[in-house]
């Protein structure tokens, strides 16, 4: 036996204006809400109206989704057009359009590849076509090495002061005051060793 909640749910109209029961049986269900006897007779004349409203609803949903995710329709690529492949970080030339939607066959130095339109960026000329992904990795690694070398050179001139060793004044040589000569500490209290009971026994 169908529960009352399920019965009411199947009798509630959808966005098309017709309930699931009407789409299945072609008529309304007999519920606690009074209905006309004519509406209980199966009638399939509303199918064209349902299809039209369904198409409008899906088009509106697609428009809202594309607007929310900033979807842009990309232009089609022509054969012999130079492109840059994002995932392989290399250049290539369009051979032809694949039978799959938004897919192209691209000729590169490593052979023919199939790529989606979102991975292909049109470019005027195949500059740096011999540049591979390993070359880019080596270049980035060299940049990181140069930055670390610069940081080491910059901080190597800073005098290192031991906070636990006392400062001895040397009158023989003049003291040059700079912003690195002052020792910064959180506390100026005298440090005393901890007295433990086991050491006193």
Q: 104: burial class by Cβ within 10 Å (0-12, 13-18, 19+)? A: buried
Assigned fold of 74-144 = SH3 type barrels. (2.30.30)
Spatial contact of 57 and 16, defined as CB atoms under 8 Å apart? yes
Which tops the pLDDT comparison, 190 or 49?
49
Which tens digit of pLDDT belongs to each residue from 97-113?
A: 999 888 999 999 888 88
Cα distance between the two ends of the chain: 88
pLDDT number for residue 163: 44
pLDDT tens digit sequence for 156-171: 454 454 444 444 444 4
CA angle 63, 66, 71 (to 5 degrees): 140
Half-sphere exposure (CA, 13 Å, Cβ side) for 14?
14
pLDDT band at 186 (very low <50, low <70, confident <90, very high): low
The CA-based angle 43-46-50, given to 5 degrees, is 140
Check: CB of residue 92 under 8 Å from CB of residue 113: yes
| Structural domain boundaries in the chain | 4-68, 74-144
Report pLDDT digits (tens) over 12-54.
888 888 888 888 888 888 888 888 888 888 888 888 888 999 9
Its pTM stands at 0.40
Length of the chain: 201
CA angle at residue 124 from 119 to 125, to 5 degrees?
A: 100
């Amino acid at each position: 036996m169908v529960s009352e909640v399920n019965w009411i749910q199947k009798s509630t109209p959808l966005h098309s204006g017709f309930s699931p029961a009407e789409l299945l049986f072609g008529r309304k269900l007999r519920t606690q809400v009074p209905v006309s006897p004519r509406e209980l007779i199966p009638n399939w004349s509303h199918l064209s109206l349902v299809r039209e409203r369904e198409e409008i609803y899906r088009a509106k949903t697609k428009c809202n989704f594309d607007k929310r995710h900033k979807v842009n329709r990309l232009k089609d690529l022509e054969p012999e057009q130079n492109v840059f492949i994002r995932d392989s970080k290399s250049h290539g030339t369009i051979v032809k359009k694949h039978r799959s939607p938004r897919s192209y066959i691209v000729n590169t130095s490593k052979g023919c590849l199939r790529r989606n339109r979102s991975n292909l960026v049109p470019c005027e000329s195949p500059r740096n076509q011999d540049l591979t992904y390993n070359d880019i990795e080596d270049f980035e690694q060299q940049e990181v090495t140069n930055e670390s070398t610069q940081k080491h050179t910059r901080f190597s001139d800073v005098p290192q002061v031991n906070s636990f060793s006392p400062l001895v004044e040397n009158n023989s040589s003049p003291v040059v005051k700079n912003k690195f000569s002052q020792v910064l500490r959180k506390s100026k209290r005298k440090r005393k060793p901890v007295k433990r009971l086991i050491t006193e026994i």
